[in-house]
Amino acid sequence: MRRILIAIGAALAALAVVPVAAHAESGTGRHCAVQLTQDGPRHQCFGTFRQAIAFGTDGAITSAPDATAAATDPGFQAEVEHPATRAANVLIGIEYDATNFGGNTFSVFRYAACTGPTNDVDKQIVDLDVIGWNDKVSSFRTYNNCIADHYYLTNFGGVHTGYLGSSATMPVINGTNMNDNARSIRWS
């Protein structure tokens, strides 16, 4: 009996040293978050969408659903639009690499919700290539009173989608299919 207990103890000890993999890698993960702070952008990528949202919200939301589910989850929307969450960093949009809110994502955060009028620009990314997302966006979601305008060229050049709330696919504008063709984005 004693020999069996020793064997069980050794097995438990072996289990205890299995490393816990929960690390974030900058720039290599499938799910990225960009905080557009007043001091400049903070950009980090993670293995899971949940980790990206936790980073973007400064730890306010640590139990986000997976990225596709989040796009249509009223509970997730309520959480990211809750005043307590917005006190830290405000989620303004999620960009998806695949249609129907699928594939890799990058989530964009700023210090406040968007203001009502669309004749002002609340936040923008001049060149998506800087974060490795040129010609990738295939669907997107917006939050916190923001709407997004996707442009064909850098620095808001070429055709653009016009301000849209959320879309499971990208529109065709003047004969240009904006799917996998966005190079810069404005939120208002």
Between CA 61 and CA 25 the distance in angstroms is: 19
Which strands form 184-187's sheet, in the order they lie side by side? 123-125, 184-187, 148-153, 157-160
* Member of 30, 97, 131, 153 binding Ca ion (CB under 5 A): 97
134 binds Ca ion (CB under 5 A): no
Q: Which is nearer to Ca ion, 85 or 105 (CB)?
A: 105
Q: Which is nearer to Ca ion, 53 or 182 (CB)?
A: 182
In terms of Cβ atoms closer than 10 Å to its own Cβ (0-12, 13-18, 19+), residue 66 is middle
Judged by CB under 5 A, the stretch of 25-33, 55-63, 117-125, 136-144 that binds Ca ion is 136-144
Q: 128 in the Ramachandran plot: left (φ > 0), alpha (ψ -120 to 50) or beta?
A: alpha
Least Cβ distance, residue 105 to Ca ion (angstroms): 11
136 binds Ca ion (CB under 5 A): yes
Least Cβ distance, residue 125 to Ca ion (angstroms): 16
Least Cβ distance, residue 104 to Ca ion (angstroms): 8
Q: Which is nearer to Ca ion, 103 or 118 (CB)?
A: 103
Residue 81: which of 72, 71, 73, 91 has the closest Cα? Answer: 91
Between CA 53 and CA 93 the distance in angstroms is: 11
* List of residues 6+ apart from 9 with CB closer than 8 A: none
Question: Tokens standing for 185?
Answer: 């984005």
Report the greatest alpha carbon distance in the chain: 80
Number of amino acids touching Ca ion (CB under 5 A): 4
Kindly state the DSSP code that residue 72 receives in the 8-state scheme.
T
Binding-site string for Ca ion from residue 143 to residue 182, where x marks contact by CB under 5 A and - marks none: -------------------------------------x--
Least Cβ distance, residue 180 to Ca ion (angstroms): 5
Least Cβ distance, residue 182 to Ca ion (angstroms): 9
* Member of 105, 138, 142, 184 binding Ca ion (CB under 5 A): 138
The footprint of Ca ion (CB under 5 A) covers: 97, 136, 138, 180
